[in-house]
């Protein structure tokens, strides 16, 4: 049975996967605990990516299982459309608002990061429409940015391959080089500040290659947005919940984003949930309390799902109790040290580590020219070494759970180069 699941053709359509290659090479996972997961055959792997950058608390957290099970028994499900609410959703909104860049931020809940992003685009456009500026719809993203796979997120993202083949995406979107604050200012002027609604920015670009911002970049783009009245949206879906050593991720810098998207680590990944924090002045047209005030006609079915909110509340307690948020910062140098040996490997072009508990390692241009699938082959070789990593365009990403420690970093330090040696031997 297990064998059939791993090797035979199966109707399950895997996202971002070459299905021809998947059939026969599926890695079917059955169990997780701490920084490790096990497959159907009982083989153990270091989860060096915290699944899809979200198992920040480590796998198998009993406290989350207990909270979710308890909530399912109490009130399993109900929406928060209209005047409905539930206690976990109200409590979570309060807890998240307390993490916001300033007091009085509003909290919109959804099912994941892509939800939060598409909500953000609609909220900024709705905000300007309500302020009598309906022409202010243009959104600027960055090259290499990843903002999920919903409509707006696909358009605002800056990884070209993710946006092609789908016909026209939502318009009034443009992109600027991810490392140039001057380019943002120039683009706002080109489009016309009166037409630009928002700028979307991952504090550290994640899926687009683990690209930390240049020094001063975050402060400069925040100031450019402020100067032009453009709303600054910080996409902290990866950056939040300790990945950069702070609660939101963007709060490593002294800036005040107008909107903040959150997901992934918000529940430790155990249950899907996303959130959007909205500055009071942006949400204000919808909160006047006056008769006939506008309604934001938007929201996914599972917004404020009580079991998901219960998972997030339990996760927030764990982050707090175990000091895991600052740990993301404490671990950044040990991770950089663990990967430093890779920099000398002949197949490696670049190691980016040292800002937060995540890293990107690029293969050398000639390796990629010979075999564009080399990152996926390196990923596969790491799997043979007992380590799960994520292939990106030019290499791999590493972002272990925040509960990882010395043994896990030692394993990374030895397994990643060994896997590269396998690749070199096969060239
Ligand atoms: N924004 C960022 C920065 C992300 O990394 C992701 C997911 N990798 C998303 C948005 C989309 O989140 P989801 O996949 O939960 O829709």
Q: Is 202 in the pocket of ligand 1 (CB under 6 A)?
A: yes
3-state helix, strand, coil in the chain (%, to 5): 40, 15, 40
What is the token pair recorded at 236? 């902290």
pLDDT band for position 14 (50/70/90)? very high
Q: 321, 349, 380 — which closes off a domain?
A: 321
Domain match, 313 and 345 both: no
Domain match, 125 and 151 both: yes
Domain match, 176 and 317 both: yes
Domain match, 226 and 275 both: yes
**Ligand 1 centroid distance, CA of 267 (Å):** 14
Domain match, 315 and 332 both: no
Residues 315, 267, 357, 95: is their CA dihedral positive or negative? negative
Owner of token pair 């994941």: 112
Instruction: Decide if pLDDT at 179 tops 90.
Output: yes
Residues 338-348: what's their mean pLDDT?
Answer: 96
Which residues, 6 or more positions from 391, have their beta carbon under 8 angstroms from its beta carbon? 375, 376, 378, 379
Based on the structure, what is the number of domains in the chain?
2
Ligand 1: residue of 206, 263, 271 to mutate (most ligand atoms within 8 A of CB) is 263
Structure confidence at residue 23 (pLDDT): 84
User: 170 by DSSP, 3-state: which?
Assistant: coil
Instruction: Decide if pLDDT at 247 tops 90.
Output: yes
Q: Is the pTM of this model over 0.90?
A: yes
Structure confidence at residue 140 (pLDDT): 99
Q: 269, 304, 321 — which closes off a domain?
A: 321
21 or 283: which carries more pLDDT confidence?
283
Domain match, 52 and 71 both: no
Q: 291, 321, 351 — which closes off a domain?
A: 321
Q: Is 114 in the pocket of ligand 1 (CB under 6 A)?
A: yes
ipTM of the complex: 0.99
Q: Is 118 in the pocket of ligand 1 (CB under 6 A)?
A: no
Domain match, 218 and 354 both: no
What is the token pair recorded at 152? 């707006």
pLDDT, one tens digit per residue, over 190-237 is 999 999 999 999 999 999 999 999 999 999 999 999 999 999 999 999
Domain match, 204 and 317 both: yes
Nearest-atom number in ligand 1 for the CA of 117 is 10
Instruction: Decide if pLDDT at 175 tops 60.
Output: yes
Q: DSSP E strands: which ranges in 287-394?
A: 348-354, 356-363, 387-388, 390-391
Ligand 1: residue of 237, 248, 267 to mutate (most ligand atoms within 8 A of CB) is 237
* Gap between the Cα atoms of 206 and 147, Å rounded: 10
pLDDT band for position 426 (50/70/90)? confident
- Strand-strand pairing, 387-388 and 348-354: unpaired
- The β-bridge partners of 348 are 363
pLDDT, one tens digit per residue, over 77-117 is 999 999 999 999 999 999 999 999 999 999 999 999 999 99
Q: Is 141 in the pocket of ligand 1 (CB under 6 A)?
A: no
Contact 282, 127 (CB under 8 A): yes
Burial of 216 by CB count in 10 Å (0-12 exposed, 13-18 middle, 19+ buried)?
Answer: exposed
User: Which amino acid residue places its CA nearest to atom 5 of ligand 1?
Assistant: 238
Quick one: angle between helices 62-74 and 306-321, nearest 10? 150
Domain match, 146 and 98 both: yes
Domain match, 132 and 99 both: yes
What is the token pair recorded at 106? 């509003």
- Alpha-carbon dihedral angle through residues 246, 250, 252, 256, given to the nearest 10 degrees: -120
Output the domain CATH number for residue 39.
3.90.1150.10
Nearest-atom number in ligand 1 for the CA of 153 is 10
pLDDT, one tens digit per residue, over 383-409 is 999 999 999 999 999 999 999 999 999
Which residues, 6 or more positions from 132, have their beta carbon under 8 angstroms from its beta carbon? none
Nearest-atom number in ligand 1 for the CA of 53 is 8
Instruction: Decide if pLDDT at 289 tops 90.
Output: yes
Domain match, 330 and 316 both: no
Domain match, 68 and 187 both: yes
Q: Supply the range of the domain harboring residue 239.
A: 64-321
Instruction: Decide if pLDDT at 53 tops 60.
Output: yes
User: Which amino acid residue places its CA nearest to atom 16 of ligand 1?
Assistant: 114
Average pLDDT, the chain: 96
What is the token pair recorded at 253? 């810098």
Percent share of the chain, pLDDT over 90: 96
Q: Is 207 in the pocket of ligand 1 (CB under 6 A)?
A: yes
Ligand 1: residue of 110, 147, 200 to mutate (most ligand atoms within 8 A of CB) is 147
Output the domain CATH number for residue 261.
3.40.640.10
Per the document, the length of the chain is: 427
**Ligand 1 centroid distance, CA of 237 (Å):** 6
What is the token pair recorded at 210? 């683990």
Residues 333-347: what's their mean pLDDT?
Answer: 97
Structure confidence at residue 3 (pLDDT): 47
Ligand 1: residue of 114, 234, 239, 244 to mutate (most ligand atoms within 8 A of CB) is 114
């Amino acid at each position: 049975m297990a064998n059939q699941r791993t090797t035979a053709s199966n109707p399950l359509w895997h996202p971002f996967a070459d299905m021809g290659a998947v059939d026969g090479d599926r890695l079917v996972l059955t169990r997780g605990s701490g920084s490790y997961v096990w497959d159907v055959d009982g083989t153990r792997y270091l989860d060096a990516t915290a699944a899809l950058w979200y198992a920040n608390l480590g796998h198998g957290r009993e406290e989350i299982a207990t909270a979710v099970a308890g909530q399912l028994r109490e009130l399993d499900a109900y929406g928060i459309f209209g005047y409905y609410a539930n206690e976990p959703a109200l409590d979570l909104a309060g807890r998240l608002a307390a993490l916001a860049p300033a007091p009085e931020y509003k909290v919109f809940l959804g099912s994941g990061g892509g939800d939060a992003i598409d909500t953000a685009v609609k909220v900024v456009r709705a905000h300007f429409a309500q302020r009598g500026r309906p022409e202010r719809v243009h959104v600027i993203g960055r090259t290499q940015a990843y903002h999920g796979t919903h409509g707006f997120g696909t358009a605002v993202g800056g990884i070209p391959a993710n946006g092609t083949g789908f016909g026209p995406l939502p318009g009034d979107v443009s992109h600027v080089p991810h490392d140039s604050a001057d380019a943002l200012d120039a683009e706002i002027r080109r489009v016309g500040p009166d037409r630009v609604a928002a700028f979307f920015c991952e504090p550290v670009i994640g899926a687009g290659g683990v690209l930390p911002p240049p020094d001063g970049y975050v402060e400069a783009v925040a100031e450019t947005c402020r100067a032009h009245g453009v709303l600054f949206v910080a996409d902290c879906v990866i950056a939040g919940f300790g990945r950069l050593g702070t609660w939101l991720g963007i709060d490593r810098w002294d800036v005040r984003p107008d909107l903040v998207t959150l997901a992934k680590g918000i529940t430790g990944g155990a249950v899907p949930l996303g959130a959007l924090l909205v500055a009071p002045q942006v949400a204000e047209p919808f909160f006047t309390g006056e008769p006939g005030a506008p309604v934001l006609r938007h929201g996914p079915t599972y917004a404020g799902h009580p079991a998901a909110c219960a998972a997030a509340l339990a996760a927030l307690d764990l982050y707090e109790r175990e000091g895991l948020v600052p740990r993301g910062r404490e671990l950044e140098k040990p991770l950089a040290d663990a990967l430093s040996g890779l920099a000398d490997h002949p197949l490696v072009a670049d190691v980016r580590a040292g800002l937060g508990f995540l890293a990107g390692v690029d293969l050398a241009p000639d390796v990629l020219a010979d075999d564009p699938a080399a990152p996926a082959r390196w990923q596969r070789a790491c799997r043979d070494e007992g380590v799960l990593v994520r292939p990106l365009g030019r290499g791999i990403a590493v972002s272990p759970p925040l509960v990882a420690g010395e043994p896990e970093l030692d394993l990374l330090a030895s397994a990643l180069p060994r896997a590269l040696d396998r690749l070199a031997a096969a060239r």
